[in-house]
Structure 1
Amino acid sequence: MAMQLNEAALTHARGLLRRGEFTDDERDDWSEHAPTTDQENDFIEKNGLAEFAKWHLGEDTDMGEDTKGRYHFPYGDFSKLHRCAVISGESRAGQYKHDSVEKALKDLLDGIDRKAGRDE
């Protein structure tokens, strides 16, 4: 697996954060907040794979560009950035040594926590 940081997704996530379009939730909430497979497929059908890709910070370059399986480390639910997704992704990226993805997620988490007043 050749995982790289999806720069377009990072730009998109930073925009959501800047506009305050995030959910200040807890780590374990992602299992409930994550889109289902059906929701993912509906999103792709309505918006295309390029828009789906913008919601995933990891890109497996060994997979075809036109495949859903290319995109990993989701950070939101197709409408908002979720703190719980960022925490979950950061942990997994660190576990698998995807350093650039892990750093991007850490930076997003720091930004969410600052905006939510958690850093005080």
Structure 2
Amino acid sequence: MSVKLNERAYAHARELIAAGRTVHDDRDDWSEHRPTAADENAFIERHGFSEYRKWYLGLDVEHDEDTKARYKFPYGDFTDVHRCGVMSAESRAGQYKYTEIELAAAHLHGMLEQPVQAHRGQSEQ
């Protein structure tokens, strides 16, 4: 499996965090907060893969662009960035030695730990 960082999703996550669109949940909440397969299918039906891919930090380049199998390491619920999702992505990427994704998730995690006001100030500059 050849998985690389999805730069578009990473940029999208940073923008959402800067805008304050975050959920500061606990690490173990991701199993309850992550989108279900039905949620994913409904989102794809409404918005297409071009929007769906923005919510996954990893791209498995061995799969076609318009398949769910291509997208790995979700970080949100198609509305907000979830702290638990970012932490899960960071941990799993580290386990699988996807350093680029692990570092991106660690950066997002750090952004989430800063006060929201700091992000808004940075995005307005």
Same fold (TM over 0.5): yes
Aligned pairs (5 A) from 1:5-84: 5-84=5-84
Q: Supply the AA of the counterpart residue of 2:66.
A: D
1:36 Cα deviation (Å)? Answer: 0.7
Q: Supply the AA of the counterpart residue of 2:93.
A: A
Is the counterpart of residue 107 in structure 1 residue 113 in structure 2? no
Aligned residues: 117
Q: What residue in structure 1 maps to residue 122 of structure 2?
A: none
Which runs of at least 4 in structure 1 moved beyond 3 Å after TM superposition? none
1:65 Cα deviation (Å)? Answer: 1.3
Q: Supply the AA of the counterpart residue of 2:31.
A: S
SS of match in other structure, 2:77: coil
TM-score (norm 2): 0.91
Identify, as 1 or 2, the structure richer in helix.
2
Q: State the alpha-carbon separation in 2 of the partners of residues 26 and 84 from structure 1.
A: 6
5+ long unaligned stretches in structure 1: none
**Seq. identity, %:** 52
5+ long unaligned stretches in structure 2: 117-125
Cα deviation digits, residues 48-69 of structure 1 (max 9, x gap): 0111100000000011112110
